[in-house]
Amino acid sequence: MIVSLRKIKKYFPIRAGVFLQTVGWVRALEETDLDISENQTIGVVGESGCGKTTLGRIVARILQPTSGKIEFQGVDVTKKTTKDIEKLFRRTVQMIFQDPFNSLDPRMTIADVVKEPLEAHRVFESKKEMEDYVVELIGKVGLHREHLSRYPHEFSGGQRQRIAIARALALKPKLIVCDEPTSALDVSVQSQIVNLLQQLREEYKMSYLFISHNLDLVYHMSDKLIVMYLGNVMEEGDSVEVFENPLHPYTKALMSAIPSWDPNQRKLSKLKLTGEPPSPVNPPSGCVFSTRCLYKFDKCEKEKPQLKGSENHRVACFLYGE
């Protein structure tokens, strides 16, 4: 197990007034469990505001959870820990961000970007060794030696994402949190980056936490799939199982909203989902999806369903269970 989360919750305070008193909370993430083991890709899918990015950032420890426990290789790292463990964590868990136009410092050359983690962790004794390693690394992501002295603005979106991947890869991490790594890219470039991520995963024997709004993409990448809505996990399990046999009404709605790619079988007009997700400041009581669900009954508005089912497919919905 690389990282495991237990009952992780994240609320962001809303402050107002002269003294910036907390007047409410954005409930970004409700009690969530997550285990990421070696060599495993976990996909997280959901629409904007569902808490998927928050989850990713908590796993990468960019955000501190409001409550709950994070274990890293058996050690509790929820709060600040010793310097050694902190360093080990950073070497083990890295992150790739969504927007390659904002995630690279415009004043750093590509060589600087890729070297920064290596220097911070004093990986190499000599400069020569480090430079050789950087050249090798940049080759692995499909760039060339002559790119190293250039600045981010000289690259296209796809190339920038390659640079971000090289940076994340530099310390040979065991887990990379990929937050929408391809959504800012063109379709043809998206496939190239997805392929690169897949090849690197096999070569480096890494795990990914792969976050995206694109269900097809998440299915393609992951071994295990998590469907989120308004800060809650609605359904999770083996990705083939969830994709082939979706149970939760929200997962089904999400699938039916994907265009067909076949002009003979237009399907969007058959979509039954209405309305928009409610605000995470004031989520509905009971099941958070109940305001838009076609199958809701009394219980859904009163009680909150828990994730139930077998290890390879669990769903939080009262339609199933007993």
| Sites of contact with another protein (CB under 8 A) | 47-48, 156, 158, 186-192, 194-195, 198-199, 213-217, 219-220, 240, 243, 253-254, 256-264, 266-269, 271, 273-274, 276
Cβ distance to another protein smaller for residue 102 or 191: 191
Cβ distance to another protein smaller for residue 72 or 229: 229
Residue 303 tokens, joined: 């009680």
* Least Cβ distance, residue 232 to another protein (angstroms): 16
CB 117 within 8 A of CB 149: no
CB 114 within 8 A of CB 170: yes
Query: Which is nearest to 100 in space by CA: 210, 191, 193, 181?
Result: 181
* Least Cβ distance, residue 198 to another protein (angstroms): 7
Cβ distance to another protein smaller for residue 21 or 195: 195
* Least Cβ distance, residue 13 to another protein (angstroms): 20
* Least Cβ distance, residue 49 to another protein (angstroms): 9
Query: Which is nearest to 59 in space by CA: 31, 89, 83?
Result: 89
Alpha-carbon gap, residue 266 to 313, rounded angstroms: 30
Would you give the end-to-end CA distance of the chain in angstroms? 31
**Tokens 């790594």 identify what position?**
181
* Least Cβ distance, residue 133 to another protein (angstroms): 26
* Least Cβ distance, residue 5 to another protein (angstroms): 25
Cβ distance to another protein smaller for residue 48 or 310: 48
Cβ distance to another protein smaller for residue 27 or 52: 52
Cβ distance to another protein smaller for residue 267 or 299: 267
* Interacting residues of 65 by C-beta distance below 8 A, sequence separation 6+: 5, 8, 9, 10, 29, 58, 78
Query: Which is nearest to 42 in space by CA: 203, 258, 231, 236?
Result: 236
* Least Cβ distance, residue 293 to another protein (angstroms): 13
* Least Cβ distance, residue 279 to another protein (angstroms): 9
* Least Cβ distance, residue 205 to another protein (angstroms): 16
Alpha-carbon gap, residue 25 to 15, rounded angstroms: 9
Cβ distance to another protein smaller for residue 202 or 298: 202
Q: Are strands 308-310 and 313-315 parallel, antiparallel or unpaired?
A: antiparallel
Cβ distance to another protein smaller for residue 118 or 164: 164
Cβ distance to another protein smaller for residue 126 or 265: 265
